[in-house]
Amino acid sequence: MFKQVEDCGYEIVDLTCFDVKKVQSKAMEMAKEGFFVIILGKKEHPEVKAICTNAKIAAQNEEFIYVASSVQALKEIEPQIKSAKKVGVVLQTTQTKEYLLEVIDYLSKICRVLKIENTICPSTSLRQNEAKKLALESDLMVVVGSKKSANTTHLAEILTNITKTIHIEHQDELDIFSEIIKKAQNIGVTAGASTPDLIINEVIKKLENIN
């Protein structure tokens, strides 16, 4: 496709995130080497769709590529996994380390050869770890960012298991949770990787006014 664009006289400027390209590259390498490639992530997410498409082209066989959003999804194709000579795993960059470890624990018991490429974005992992520490000290966490953003949604899901958490996209949504906010003694604020500082600051300012 890129060559067709270039043949039309256009210059291609690839602005794909380095970490996202790394996942695509690892998945394609595994596919070319004959691995049954498992992509850990959300099937309908654009990043996962791109990884999947590139891997299928490299493998030249769609049956050798599978997307799983949970260990349960892997259990549904356990016979296929067991029959594979070698299994390779890559992750959508915004997945969690906990999910990866859960998958490793399961697959290591049923695979003949298992290759794992930890392609979680380092900054995403750091953000999650820092947010978890903050959540342990807070009785309410406010996660700011798009509800369509994978890394922001994951962040909210993780924190929900630690303390009361609300996920908002902008300051106006805080009005819905005003009673919860007023009752909170310690409020922590975190945000998705692409959330502008301006929006975060507006949320913090409104929280101060409410509380």
What residues are labeled active site?
47
Retrieve residue 81's tokens.
């996994």
Residues forming beta bridges with residue 38, ordered by sequence position: 66, 89
How many residues belong to the chain? 211
Strand-strand pairing, 140-144 and 87-91: unpaired
For 85, what's the count of Cα atoms within 13 Å in the CB-facing half-sphere? 5
Between 150-160 and 122-136, two packed helices, what is the crossing angle to 10 degrees? 30
